[in-house]
A and B are shown apart, each in its own frame.
Chain A
Amino acid sequence: MSKTRKLVFMALLTALELTIWVIEGQIPAPIPVPGVKLGLASVITLTAMAALGRKEAGVILLARILLGTLFAGSPAAMLFSLAGGALSWAVMAALIGAFPEKLMWVVSVFGAIGHNAGQLLAALLVTGTPGILWYGPALLAAAIVTGVFTGLGAMYLTRALRAYTGRK
């Protein structure tokens, strides 16, 4: 892929991820547990990682967090996005090479667990209330369920984009 093509593709993915993230934020949570959401935007992060590379996925994610904060967030929420995003990215970057494409959902589940762990740790630091760690097991269960769905979504999207990216 040429440099320009890649840049355009990254910009497209950033716009996609931002749009998904903003729209998902407008939908009332189906489960009355704060912090639990499907996390559809992570489909793009994982797809970018599989189709372009780890570094490119990180840049797209960071751009989405910064732009998302400008459009629909607050500085306090950005801290949580960054904590969750960073841990999720690190976990997926470490694992994506170890699993075949058909098992991309496993990588996604670990990424979702990393995301929720990062957010919980940030909440622990901000509130200084160890009691919220009780919330951990629920977030673990939620991450597993949502991670499977976003992982499958990323797998199909990566396949569909192969004709465009040319990456095997």
Chain B
Amino acid sequence: MKGKTWKGKSAFWAGLFAALALGGLGLYLLHPGGTRAALYIDGELYDTIDLAAVAAPYERTIQSEWGWNTIRVSHGAIQVVDADCPGHDCVQQGAISDGAIPIVCLPHRLVIEIEQDDE
């Protein structure tokens, strides 16, 4: 690096960051999908739902000591439709159907992930 112009250094960092970003994106998209939704509250498994076995959509409310979230379960997808948290990030996220992004409701310590059904 020594003696190089700032342009040379810029190119070096741009290349390194581009590679890292692409690598990160690739790794993220490689995350295995699945059909089983796992609900965690405060890090502990609360319930699992086999989304492939859901015929008709239904709603249910999950109550914990931190608050409640109403989830809608349908064939292959799950989402939070209402909650008594201030931010509503989990509601705005909409439905998830693959393992890429978990739904996280931080104030209620609720995490909904889609996992591989390998049992």
Task: Identify the A interface with B (CB < 8 A).
Answer: 28-29, 32-34, 74, 76-77, 80, 100, 102-103, 106, 109, 123, 126-129, 131-132, 134-141, 144-145, 148
Interface centre among A28, A100, A135, A139 (most CB of B within 10 A): A135
Whether the pair B21, A102 counts as a contact (CB closer than 8 A) is: no
Verify if B93 is at the interface (C-beta below 8 Å from A).
yes
Of B6, B17, B18, B101, the contact of A33 (CB 8 Å cutoff): B101
Interface flags for B92-112 (1: CB within 8 Å of A; 0: not) read: 111000011111101101010
CB distance from B87 to the nearest CB of A (A): 7
Q: Which residue on chain B has the smallest CB distance to residue A36? A: B101
Main secondary structure of the interface of A (DSSP, over half): helix
Given A28-B92, A127-B40; A132-B24 close (CB under 8 Å): no
Whether the pair B106, A127 counts as a contact (CB closer than 8 A) is: yes
Whether the pair B40, A129 counts as a contact (CB closer than 8 A) is: yes
Interface centre among B31, B86, B101 (most CB of A within 10 A): B101
Using C-beta atoms within 8 Å of the partner chain, give the interface range for chain B.
35 or more
Given the complex, which residues of A lie within 8 Å of B42, measured CB to CB?
127-128
Verify if B57 is at the interface (C-beta below 8 Å from A).
no
Of B21, B31, B94, B102, the contact of A140 (CB 8 Å cutoff): B21
Interfacial residues of chain B within 32-73, with CB under 8 A of chain A in the complex:
40, 42-44
Of B6, B21, B109, the contact of A141 (CB 8 Å cutoff): B21
Whether the pair B106, A123 counts as a contact (CB closer than 8 A) is: yes
Rounded to whole angstroms, the CA-CA distance of A135 and B24 in the bound complex is 10
Of A34, A135, A137, A141, the contact of B89 (CB 8 Å cutoff): A34
Rounded to whole angstroms, the CA-CA distance of A126 and B17 in the bound complex is 30
Given the complex, which residues of B lie within 8 Å of A100, measured CB to CB?
6
Rounded to whole angstroms, the CA-CA distance of A136 and B27 in the bound complex is 9
